[in-house]
Amino acid sequence: MDLILISKEIQKGQTCLGIELGSTRIKAVLTTNDSQTITSGDYTWENKLEDGVWTYSLDEVWKGIQSCYAQISADVQSRFHASLTKIGAIGVSAMMHGYLPFSKTNQLLVPFRTWRNNMTEQAADKLTDLFDFNVPQRWSIAHLYQAILNNEAHVKDIDFITTLAGYVHWQLSGEKVLGIGDASGMFPIDNIKGTFSKKCLEKFSSLAEVRKFNWKVEVILPQILQAGQVAGKLTIAGSKRLDPSGILQPGSLMAPPEGDAGTGMVATNSVRQKTGNISVGTSAFSMIVLDKPLKKVHKDIDVVATPVGSTVAMVHINNCTSDINSWVRIFKEFAERLGIHLKNSELYENLLLQTTKSDNDAGGVISYGYLSGENITRMPAGRPLVVRKPESKFNLANFMLAHLYSAFAPLKIGMDILMKEENVKTNVLIAQGGLFKTPVIAQQVLADALETPITIMKTADEGGPWGMAVLAAYVLYQENNTSKKTLSDFLDQNVFINPETMTLTPDPHGVSGYRNFIKLYKKGLAIERTAVEKL
């Protein structure tokens, strides 16, 4: 990293800022216009279960964003002796789906309903049948229709609905727009025209329950844009919202706001047909860019879009690493009780490495890390469980492997539909997420579970916000160059020129063990279901 050259880019306002609001972290990454990371800032937050609804406070949204930006600004001043007065382009991404309805006076009508809520089964099922297109419970239109079916008072006052990324972008730019990838998690889209599906809009509007309202669904949804298009500029009010110190100037180009699925595809260079990626965190999802339509509608497969509108088959699971994180906190408490103080990274590394001493099937230990409901296994709510027979080999190695196996189990069930029923092919899947900070362990488990080679890039734990900064850089490139590039060509030629990667192939011993585990896991789902009913 050439400090002098980067300092000049900072002073000229040629940098790009990517902001991503994830499930457990808000993070911002500042890059050069050729996508080298300059610095980053992050803020830890958690969703809260309030009145039966998983939500985040919008006040904390801005507290987190401002904290991230302040860290970046301070680091730039300290290391480069330059004030961050102007940024070339800014992009916002966030966890997809959910429900943020606003009134004509821009007031949020109900607390933010996140993707984690399994409360729209009735609406999702009816809309799936109506559209002949899978509408998952977490999609914005499922939340809206369920609110209508529930006769919720706020529905009549709706003027605008959006996602979390769309909301933040609106506040920074004044524009009620959304990138096509994030939009595809709100309402079915027409991949050819790059708009919301006219046929589905008409079907929704024709419903008797919907016709009684004064608003039109096509009006209250955001406008769709594609990657590379300018989605407005940072306003004076937006610059003050981002940087309350008043140093940052308005005028930065704004990239279309995207979902974390879209930024994951960009961060792993997986936007071409037959490429695929997996993002692992509080939730997890796989994305495979299709070269042909699926044969039929699957309730466990979402059909969404890349940031340029190509069709993607998505397997989304609500629960992945949350229960692992909970157990790591327990081990940390115990270590501190003994006077041993370890960094989180050291704890994760030691616990994950212990799995190298495990039985390949986790010794008959089964874990259900369900903090919330899980659509793929038809679980309406979460009750984290560890289950074993008296003769199971219960030790630390098997205990930790069972949690790793469990984290990927619903994803395995969904991916089997794509690979075995739909015969979708991909040569390799590129994975990203903090779980891969410890080399090899989780990567090998994932390869064995899906029976597919798994590649990890150097940016595995920083993907989302960096991917959004790359999308911001793409806007700058398209604006400043007469010769335009497709997003896939831009990524190949301008960003991933010499990527640092490591690929692991399935190990027969691990594949055999995981097959045995998943059989027990499926049989034991009845135990989880009973726990939901009785507790």
User: Residue length, the chain?
Assistant: 535
Predicted local confidence at residue 223, as pLDDT: 98
Predicted local confidence at residue 462, as pLDDT: 60
Whether the CA torsion 65, 71, 77, 80 is positive or negative: it is negative
**Which residues of the chain are under the pLDDT cut of 50?**
none
Rounded Cα–Cα distance for residues 250 and 247 (Å): 10
358: nearest Cα among 401, 320, 388, 296:
401
Predicted local confidence at residue 1, as pLDDT: 60
Rounded Cα–Cα distance for residues 488 and 162 (Å): 27
The per-residue pLDDT for range 274-321, each reduced to its tens digit, is 899 998 888 898 999 998 999 999 988 999 999 999 999 999 998 999
Bridge partners, residue 16, by sequence: 31, 89
**Exposed/middle/buried for 314, CB within 10 Å: 0-12, 13-18, 19+?**
buried
Q: Tokens 């806007």 belong to which residue?
A: 475
Rounded Cα–Cα distance for residues 163 and 139 (Å): 10
* Residues 284, 317 contacting (CB under 8 angstroms): yes
Two tokens at 417? 């539909």
Predicted local confidence at residue 459, as pLDDT: 58
305: nearest Cα among 475, 178, 452:
178
Indicate the angle between helix axes 344-353 and 322-337, nearest 10 degrees.
110
Can you give the residue ranges of every domain in the chain? 97-162+187-220
Predicted local confidence at residue 434, as pLDDT: 82
> pTM of the full predicted structure?
0.87
321: nearest Cα among 22, 13, 12:
22
Two tokens at 327? 């157990």
**DSSP secondary structure letters along 306-357:** -TT--EEEEEEES-SSHHHHHHHHHHHHHHHHTT----HHHHHHHHHHGGGG
Rounded Cα–Cα distance for residues 377 and 525 (Å): 8
Predicted local confidence at residue 23, as pLDDT: 87
97-162+187-220 CATH fold: Nucleotidyltransferase; domain 5 (3.30.420)
